[in-house]
Structure 1
Amino acid sequence: MHIEACRPWLVAELSLLKPELIVVLGATAAKALLGPSFRVTRSRGELLPWPASAQHPEDFPVAEIQAMATIHPSAVLRADDRDAAFDGLVADLKVAARALAK
């Protein structure tokens, strides 16, 4: 319910900002934007097309941008192995940084 209610504001922001890359943090955000079958654990750190991968691509009037999903930073705090979780998050963010540096 909140996701659908806030969608117009997100669409408006993306239309104005025209980002090159959207980093989606956590499973809830990923499923809301990339579809209910999306799994962060399977696709984290991968550059994905946008809006073709979006659940409602017609809502997002942006073009030629990418998306990348990773874990939510709070997941690091809940992880059994915090060092490994942190290292994975940093590795994912480095993928995003390299994509933007091109």
Structure 2
Amino acid sequence: MRPEIVVCLGATAAQALMGSDFRISKERGVLLDFPEIAGVEPRPASLLATTHPSAVVRAPDRREAYRGLLSDLEVVAAALGS
């Protein structure tokens, strides 16, 4: 596989790739450069982190959380030209 964009669903996935200092609350929905990781070649161009779908289900305001998730995924769709 040679993905153009990797979408991380949740902080655990994002921190596994970006490091433990990564914060979903600050960086979600933003296309970032994919980090250099040993053994990952060719490197995808971008990475986007968003909330995990289970967080949407648990959120006090599910509609707002769902809108945020969709908004983040729309960033990916736009970047891919969809």
In structure 1, stretches of 5+ residues that fail to align are 1-16
State the match for 1:22 in structure 2. Answer: 6
**Aligned partners of 2:23 and 2:48: how far apart in 1?**
12
Larger radius of gyration: 1
- Describe how 1:18-57 pairs up with structure 2 within 5 A: 18-52=2-36, 57=37
Which structure shows the higher helix fraction? 1
In structure 2, stretches of 5+ residues that fail to align are none
8 Å CA contact 2:31–2:46 kept in 1: the answer is: yes
State the match for 2:73 in structure 1. Answer: 93
Q: Could you give the per-residue CA deviations for residues 43-76 of structure 1, whole angstroms, max 9, x where no partner exists?
A: 0000000124xxxx22311235100000001110
TM, length-normalised to structure 2: 0.92
Percent of residue pairs bearing the same amino acid type:
48
TM, length-normalised to structure 1: 0.75
**Aligned partners of 2:57 and 2:22: how far apart in 1?**
23
State the match for 1:7 in structure 2. Answer: none
User: Which stretches of structure 1, 4 residues or more, deviate above 2 A after TM superposition?
Assistant: none
CA RMSD after TM alignment:
1.3
**Aligned partners of 1:18 and 1:31: how far apart in 2?**
21
Q: Which amino acid aligns with 2:81?
A: A
